[in-house]
Amino acid sequence: MTSVLDLAPVVPVVVIDDAADAVPLARALVSGGLPAIEVTLRTPAALDAIRAIAAEVPEAVVGAGTVISPDGVAQAVAAGSRFLVSPGWSDRLLGAMTDSGVPFLPGVSTTSEVVQLLERGITGMKFFPAEAAGGTAYLKSLGGPLPQARFCPTGGISLASAPSYLALPNVACVGGTWMLPADAVAARDWDRVEVLARGAAALRG
């Protein structure tokens, strides 16, 4: 099973209020070089958005974020999610994500959480909220005692700070929203989204 961490160095974290925006938004991100798209389950439109992207944008690898329950896991997978991301984890949620058969990233923000996941054989994790939880300094410190853990930091990361995260050996990718400014999405300015996505994709080198 391919790790979510290996899909792309930058994963857009998308909040969709209108499912009609899902396909043009996804096409803009893919055209800009960001094929892995995390649609957060924070809005009533999220599952319909995932369905639409899965059906109409085959070049995209669409996943579900803010997965916080076994029901959420089941609904996301049924909608066509090809990966799952949670802000944190419990044994019950972890079991559901494991049983789903799709790649997943459980969220962590403490050393103890990382160790508990390593005990379960899980090495790929979301570090959230990245900036508030200690940022690059914290992740660099974790790399010494826990080098086998690999992270996708998300939360407060910008185009300016992303390279510092991606330079760390235990960071495989970052999640962010900077390529989806609220005014551009509200105006359905997909050309601008594509340009910003291209700038994020350029960080992959």
150 vs 71, 85, 103, 122, 172, CA distance in Å? 27, 14, 14, 10, 7
DSSP 48: H
Beta bridge partners, 84, equal 64, 104
Is 38 designated active site?
yes
Residues found in the chain: 205
Is 126 designated active site?
yes
128 vs 53, 75, 154, 192, CA distance in Å? 25, 23, 5, 27
Candidate list 38, 56, 131, 194, residue with the active-site label: 38
Candidate list 113, 126, 131, 194, residue with the active-site label: 126
- Known catalytic residues are 38, 126
